[in-house]
């Protein structure tokens, strides 16, 4: 789910930039959605996963998979958050032009 949120946020930011978001006084709906997916939903998914992971780690026989899901999720969350920041900058530029 985090990978989907990250990919969606990145695609929306790219689409908003191609549509010229931030260069006019009109707030782009794609940029707002990218901010929502990148910042809000991405961080909520990170918190939810860590809650589930903490429950599993409290069991005595937990073995972390070889692909290290905590590290993968941390990287996806950082990328998602950065795309959310880029979307927020596009929204802020549009609001500043008003």
Question: Residues 7-24, buried b or exposed e (16+ Cβ, 10 A)?
Answer: ebbbebbeebbebebbee
CA distance 10 to 34: 7
Is pLDDT of 11 > 90? yes
pLDDT band, residue 65 (cuts 50/70/90): confident
Is pLDDT of 93 > 90? yes
For range 39-62, the mean pLDDT: 90
For range 22-38, the mean pLDDT: 91
* pLDDT for 46: 94
DSSP 27: P
């Amino acid at each position: 789910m985090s990978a989907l949120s990250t990919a969606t946020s990145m695609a929306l930011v790219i689409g908003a930039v191609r549509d010229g978001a931030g260069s006019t006084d009109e707030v782009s709906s794609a940029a707002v959605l990218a901010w929502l997916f990148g910042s809000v939903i991405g961080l909520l998914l990170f918190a939810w996963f860590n809650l589930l992971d903490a429950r599993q780690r409290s069991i005595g026989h937990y073995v972390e998979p070889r692909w290290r899901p905590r590290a993968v999720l941390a990287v996806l969350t950082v990328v998602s958050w950065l795309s959310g920041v880029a979307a927020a900058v596009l929204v802020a530029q549009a609001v500043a032009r008003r």
